[in-house]
Amino acid sequence: LDDEFLKDNNENSENFRQDKILPDLETDMPSRAWRRMSEKQTFKTVAPLNIHSPVKPDCLRFVCLSDTHSKLHVDDMSKFYVPPGDILLHAGDFTMKGRPLEIERFNEALGKLPHKKKIVIAGNHELSFDDSLFTEANCFGESIGTVERYLKTKGLKSVRGLLTNAIYLQDSMVTVCGINIYGSPWQPRFCDWAFNVIRGEEILQKWNWIPENVDILITHGPPVGHGDVTKAGINVGCVELLNTVQKRVKPKYHLFGHIHEGYGLTTDGETMFINASSCTKGYKLCNPPIIFDVPLPPGQ
């Protein structure tokens, strides 16, 4: 397959004419796919808003975190300051292994934060949230039996119930003051962690569940081209996710984390892409939360 053929097949033929998004032929080579795709679109990096700035009038303030990896201890705000706001969003990897104790500590930290609503998705580190792994003994360093007995003492069937201070989204949506927020934990397979799926058709099926009326999309992993460059200098984001965002869903904001070194904001002119990874590549909690203000819809 030469370059011309791929170009034709991806952008001029059925793929492009149909409303339906098809898997990209170069999906397994995201750097290469992005080089091709980036020629035909706007791409800009965006400076983050000062986290101490006042909220714009008639707006809701969103405060974004991701990849806090069991390091969020809000008792000492001098170490990691979480600014106030209306809604806190967390794009997954709030633990290292998804152990109940880690989930409870994260939930406690959330409880101490002032935001009226906290919306959380899982990442690949939340092993116990992935039903397909929960059947495997010791998948996260504790025997399933021990975890199940522990949950039973709390009257819970699943670890999700431990997140009492959050709205947990998993391929689901919540509407807050007229703003639709959808969350999804899936990412392209890497080292067999939770919510891993194969690039192409399989991951596209997950993205096909995202409804069109989403204003804020939260996924754990980045789309290709935005906040997805690793230390090695390669893009590892999901090609099908970028196509879904740009061609079909067109949310105002797309929040994610997962590639810690991709922290920051970028835009394609229609969607603001936010990699809010709070931890660095070395799992040090020091990237400040990213904030944005959304005008309240009429009547809210």
Q: Which residues bind ligand 5GP (CB under 6 A)?
A: 67, 93, 124-125, 188, 190, 230, 236, 258-261, 281
Stretch that binds Mn ion, among 62-70, 200-208, 239-247, 267-275 (CB under 5 A): 62-70
Of residues 99 and 258, the one with the C-beta less far from ligand 5GP? 258
Query: Binding Mn ion by CB under 5 A: which of 27, 124, 128, 235?
Result: 124
Of residues 105 and 250, the one with the C-beta less far from Mn ion? 250
Contact 277, 66 (CB under 8 A): yes
Q: Measured from the CB of residue 221, what is the shortest distance to ligand 5GP in angstroms?
A: 7
How far is it, in rounded angstroms, from Cα 219 to Cα 238? 11
Q: Measured from the CB of residue 214, what is the shortest distance to Mn ion in angstroms?
A: 6
The β-bridge partners of 59 are 295
How far is it, in rounded angstroms, from Cα 248 to Cα 162? 34
Nearest residue to 67 via CA among 271, 261, 265: 261
Contact 124, 195 (CB under 8 A): yes
Q: Measured from the CB of residue 5, what is the shortest distance to Mn ion in angstroms?
A: 32
32 binds Mn ion (CB under 5 A): no
Contact 15, 22 (CB under 8 A): yes
Q: Which partner in Mn ion, ligand 5GP, none is near 259 (CB below 5 to 8 A by kind)?
A: ligand 5GP
Of residues 63 and 238, the one with the C-beta less far from ligand 5GP? 238
Q: Which partner in Mn ion, ligand 5GP, none is near 118 (CB below 5 to 8 A by kind)?
A: none
Sequential DSSP letters for 39-100:
TTS--EEEPPPPTTSPPPTTEEEEEEEB--TT---TT-TTTS-----SEEEE-S--SSS--H
Q: Are strands 264-267 and 272-275 parallel, antiparallel or unpaired?
A: antiparallel
Stretch that binds Mn ion, among 73-81, 161-169, 202-210, 257-265 (CB under 5 A): 257-265
Of residues 222 and 251, the one with the C-beta less far from ligand 5GP? 222
Of residues 55 and 234, the one with the C-beta less far from ligand 5GP? 234
The β-bridge partners of 168 are 120
268 binds Mn ion (CB under 5 A): no
Contact 211, 182 (CB under 8 A): yes
Q: Which partner in ligand 5GP, Mn ion, none is near 250 (CB below 5 to 8 A by kind)?
A: Mn ion
Q: Which partner in Mn ion, ligand 5GP, none is near 33 (CB below 5 to 8 A by kind)?
A: none
Of residues 67 and 142, the one with the C-beta less far from ligand 5GP? 67
Q: Output the six-digit token pair for 47.
A: 């400076």
Q: Measured from the CB of residue 137, what is the shortest distance to Mn ion in angstroms?
A: 23
**Which residue pairs, CB below 8 angstroms and at least 24 apart, start in 52-56?**
52/83, 53/291, 55/85, 55/86, 55/293, 56/293, 56/295
Stretch that binds Mn ion, among 5-13, 18-26, 48-56, 89-97 (CB under 5 A): 89-97
258 binds Mn ion (CB under 5 A): yes
Distances (CA, A) of 12 to 158, 161, 167, 298: 47, 48, 42, 40
Per CB under 5 A, residues contacting Mn ion are: 67, 93, 123-124, 212, 250, 258
